[in-house]
Amino acid sequence: MKALGVEVVPTGRWHCEIKYDGYRSLAVINPGSIALWSRARKSMTLEFPQIVRALEKLKCRNAVLDGEIVALDPAGRSRFQLLQGRAVGERTAPLAYFIFDLLYLDGISLVNQPLEERRKRLEALLARSSSPLQLSHAFE
């Protein structure tokens, strides 16, 4: 979902997450196949093999994850310039895939489930994973 601007924030309880400075990406995991897709439906799989290798280690049959691929500076902050530099051969900055939603898991679509339920399942899926897969931090 693309963020949209509003004049006034509606009242109520809100779940907020950090806006990372990277490439939005859907990860599609199937038996023997992992694909990364941009919002513009461009394949990103070959550009980020270390993210693909980390996704291969997740304990699931299949899944669709929504997140953002970022390049990190020495202080651990995402920097879009570092990510863009990869396109011209600068590949020294470490990468992370900050995942904020789980849309499909082990044959079950979760898109109609409340965000809290999807988040709980995402946390369980990522519980034993390590860098570069990261759960996107949320706060109210």
Q: Are 86 and 129 in contact (CB under 8 A)?
A: no
Q: Looking at 2, 19, 57, 120, which residue is catalytic?
A: 19
Does the active-site annotation cover 19?
Answer: yes
The neighbouring-strand residues paired with 133 are 97
Helix spans in the chain (H): 49-56, 80-85, 115-126
128: nearest Cα among 49, 60, 58 = 58
Active-site positions?
19
